[in-house]
Amino acid sequence: MISIKDLKNYQLIVNSELFQKEKEFIQHGDTTVYEHSLLVAEESLKIARKLKWKIEEESLIKGALLHDYFLYDWHVKEKYHRFHGIKHPIFSRNNASRDFSLNKKEENMILSHMFPLCPIIPRYKESWILFMADKISATKETLSYVRRNNKFLNKVKEFVWNE
């Protein structure tokens, strides 16, 4: 079985200068957009292979890596950052189609990954896989951050374990 790092689109995107810029922006908790994108791509491939669905792995990885390719810090209060959750798939698709050629499937993957918050319906198996992988990854990242940084929870652990 081919490793994710052996897929053509993985190397092309991950090594690009603008994708590397994602390391500067936080996505969930203390996870960068770069880390999140890599985790979503890995989770997507894992889901696809577990389900044994006939899919285009190159498109799956391309869409997964570029689904949050909005290239700004959404935590900074700017007028165009308002409604980030709803608007960022459009920014991501626009940036991705500017920097990499996208087919219709990859466009749908990026535009629909926030369904149903955004009304664009996932139309391909790859789109549904990305949708699932993004939610799984975001949940893991957020819960991991909360566990590490929840002062109340840490005080309870400290109290319980010190007795």
Q: What is the pLDDT of residues 98-152, one digit of tens each?
A: 999 999 999 999 999 999 999 999 999 999 999 999 999 999 988 887 777 776 6
Residue 67: band (very low, low, confident or very high) from pLDDT cuts 50, 70, 90: very high
d(CA 84, CA 47): 27
Closest CA to 95 of 29, 40, 21: 21
**pLDDT mean across residues, the chain:** 90
What torsion do the CA atoms of 42, 47, 52, 56 make, to the nearest 10 degrees? -50
Task: Give the per-residue pLDDT at 25.
Answer: 94
Residues shown for the chain: 163
Domain boundaries, the chain: 4-161
For the stretch 33-65, pLDDT in tens is 999 999 999 999 999 999 999 999 999 999 999
Structure confidence at residue 3 (pLDDT):
87
Alpha helix (H) residue ranges in 52-124: 57-66, 84-99, 104-112
- The CATH H-level superfamily of 4-161 is Hypothetical protein af1432 (1.10.3210.10)
pLDDT given for residue 30 in this prediction = 85
pLDDT at 2: 78
Indicate the pLDDT class of residue 75, thresholds 50, 70 and 90. Answer: confident
| Residue 49 · residue 1 · CB < 8 Å | yes
Backbone dihedral angles phi then psi of residue 52, each to the nearest 5 degrees? 60, 35
Q: Which pTM was predicted? A: 0.88
Peptide bond into 119 cis (omega under 30): no
**pLDDT number for residue 29:** 80
Nearest-angstrom CA–CA distance, 61 and 161: 43
CA distance 90 to 112: 9
pLDDT at residue 162 in the model? 64
pLDDT given for residue 151 in this prediction: 67
